[in-house]
Amino acid sequence: MRRLGLVSAVCLLCLSGLANAQEQCTMPAVPLERQLRQLYLDLLGRPPNMDEYRFVQSKGAITQADIDELMSREEYYARVKGYHRALLRSNVSASVYDNGDTRVQTTNDGFAPLEARGNPQARTRGRNGLGCDHYIQQDNCNSQFQDPHLEGTSKMCRDANGVPMPVSVDYDTNIYACTTLPAADCAAAAAAGLLAGTGGGVSDKLLYFCDNRRVGANLVPSLCLPDPGKPTTMNMTIETLDAQGRVIALSNPPGTTGTSFNTLDRCDLSLGLQNNVRGNYVTKRGCLVREGVTNAPAPYWDKNGGTVVACAIEAQDRAVNPVTMESCETNRFMSDRSCGCGANFRRCGFNGTVNGTAINVQQSRINAVNEEPLLITDSVVRNEEDYFNILTTRRSFLNSTLSEFYRERQGVGVWAVSPPTEMQAMPAIDYTADPNTWVEYTRDPSASGVLTTPAFLYRWPTQRARVNVFYEAFLCKHFAPPPDAHLPPADDACNRENNLARRCGCNYCHATIEPTGAHWGRYGERNATYLDPSRFPRYDAKCRDCALNGNTNCDGECGNYVMQALDGDGAASLGLLKTYLYRTPDEEPNIAGGPKLLVERMLQTGDLERCAVKNVWADLLGRQMTVQEEGLYMNDLTTKWLAEGRSFKDLMKLIIATDAYRRID
């Protein structure tokens, strides 16, 4: 589909004076059919069909009207979107990591609840990958006792703040070795003397380590003791007894070394506290505790609406932990048993089938984020606007996935994206609507075309990466040290300079990269959040005070600020927003101006126009512009394109009209 113009190269030799000046470059006319095929491939991405061949043959020529008609087809716009997809490398599939911790899944036993089974369940239920109890209703938890000897005579279904408490307990076979007992249940095993233990004593000495384990819908008694095949637990033979002579803890002998823990307490429904902080519930080591199920409003991805059955922890919709007041709108929400998935499960995702329809929430978001910048470029091309509006416009598009994502503040713990405008100004599209339908809207004044979309910010996660791709894609420039670059001796203090714009060797590139990167200084790195000056001022005294007191985390509130003194500049900048570190007074306006200011400056140099010409030339001719061709065509093309208003279609037409394009055979 791309042709290398050998004949064109011969003619360029003539034009460049390398052949006899008297010789004339005479070129055979390219057949009409080949011209047509070339145009169709370049504009529509396919060859003409027989009817299209016959139509042009009947006319005897390809006219400008024919080219305009091709450029009005949806195939052409799809082709142009493909061009910009490659130019922007618009794909965040590998940039937004989702390990499934915030996903819920369907189940098919008991009450068949929706449940999460990720790593955070190690804190809420005792082991990662563990679900809730599918057979007990949370708010009727005393209707069924699986292990009365472990659960007591009355369970607390919820604490004083309504947080769901465990309703059943099991021993963790990652730590304990469980042996099935020939009895109906643990009570029968005790009566039969199966729980006396090796040291004799009462017949139910090991009653607290008997576990009625669920096998399908049935409960089967098992004796669970520290696993003798694992170094940490193989020597746990020291017993601690209660007043009735029953074992309540097993320990290693005094002086045992090389183990990660030395004691295991009996399991029950009680929970511990992390760092003795009220409200920060944690499970006992080796104990699997499950809450029950409850009804909840249907999740946003379910078109049927109504209610669903869900695990009681996931069904909650608190904004904060009711005791510690820690936010549930951060990635910690899944490991806090008081948070839950939020209203209509907005904080959680899903990958499965609902009534025969396959749903993958994360992939739908990735697809929508990838498509947004392409729709921005498509709208500029369709409207035949100034091409560089793709870098500055506030216009953008939402589908059902993105509308609900922004309006309901979804994706906590996986995505970090700021809503692009006020909620009331954002189109409201129900999540279950067709995701292929897009609605135009206007973003906040800080928006700058494709350069501030989540696709661009996530795909290029640092200020330096964003500068690099901007230079490559829109200025056709690459960062590389000059041929005569050299480094000072290894012991030179310049090598230890933290400011890369001044560090020897690095400064060849970073003297440009650092001040240019400041244009993205109000955008978070490795995310797509906008650091609004009203919430993230240039300087925060609270962050400074935390840093001076050694609290470099400042309770999680100062991650965007300088909190450690790595050098003299850092020591003088504690409490300063990181993006302002090492900035000169001339560079600070770049932060306020954003990417839009960068584009405006580059438009004054002509570099953006020249690069666009090179890019489209390479796309249409299948190769880069040669030095000779730059001399022949560049000034003429850029001048004419600027005079005609810089629309993308006009640029393509100008290149198609060149001798170099028409000579390709």
pTM: 0.89
Q: At 60, list the tokens.
A: 């005897």
Helices 607-621, 635-644: axis angle to 10 degrees equals 110
| Total Cβ atoms within 10 A of residue 278 | 9
Helices 588-603, 463-474: axis angle to 10 degrees equals 10
| Nearest Cα to Cα of residue 353 among 396, 410, 303, 406 | 303
| Nearest Cα to Cα of residue 397 among 366, 423, 420 | 420
Which residue, chain included where needed, has tokens 């608190």? 318
pLDDT at 28: 52
For 132-180, the DSSP string reads --TTSBGGGGGG--S-HHHH-SS--SB-TT-PBPP-EEEE-TTTEEEEE
**Which residues on neighbouring strands pair with residue 226, listed in sequence order?**
176
| Total Cβ atoms within 10 A of residue 550 | 7
Mean pLDDT by 10 residues, the chain (665 residues): 37 36 47 92 96 93 95 98 96 92 95 96 96 97 95 95 97 96 95 81 91 90 96 94 95 91 96 88 96 97 93 97 94 95 97 92 97 98 98 98 96 95 94 95 97 98 97 95 86 88 92 95 95 95 94 88 88 93 94 97 96 97 94 96 97 95 73
Q: At 246, list the tokens.
A: 């029953």
How far apart CA 442 and CA 420 sit, in angstroms, is: 9
CA 655-656-657 angle, to 5 degrees, is 90
Residue 103 near residue 300, CB atoms below 8 Å: no
How far apart CA 229 and CA 197 sit, in angstroms, is: 19
372 — phi, psi (to 5°)? -55, -55
pLDDT at 71: 98
Q: Residue 118: which residues within 8 A CB-CB, separation 6 or more?
A: 99, 100, 101, 102, 103, 128, 129, 334
Which burial class, exposed, middle or buried, applies to 496 when counting CB atoms under 10 A from its CB (0-12, 13-18, 19+)?
exposed
Q: At 401, list the tokens.
A: 């996935």
Q: At 562, list the tokens.
A: 């300088």
Which residue, chain included where needed, has tokens 């329809």? 357
End-to-end CA distance of the chain, in Å?
11
How far apart CA 337 and CA 281 sit, in angstroms, is: 7
For 182-248, the DSSP string reads SSSSHHHHHHTTTTS-TT--STTTTGGGEEEEEETTEEEEEEEEE-TTSTTTTT--EEEE-TTS-EE
How far apart CA 386 and CA 76 sit, in angstroms, is: 18
How far apart CA 436 and CA 449 sit, in angstroms, is: 21
Strands 103-105 and 349-354, by their bridges, are parallel
Strands 115-116 and 103-105, by their bridges, are antiparallel
pLDDT at 16: 37
Residue 3 near residue 639, CB atoms below 8 Å: no
Order of strands across the sheet that contains 176-180: 176-180, 218-226, 210-215
3-state secondary structure of 360: strand
| Nearest Cα to Cα of residue 89 among 468, 402, 606 | 468
Torsion of CA 341, 342, 346, 350, to 10 degrees: 20
pLDDT at 493: 86
pLDDT at 489: 87
Helices 32-44, 50-59: axis angle to 10 degrees equals 130
- Express the helix, strand and coil content of the chain in percent, nearest 5 each: 35, 15, 50
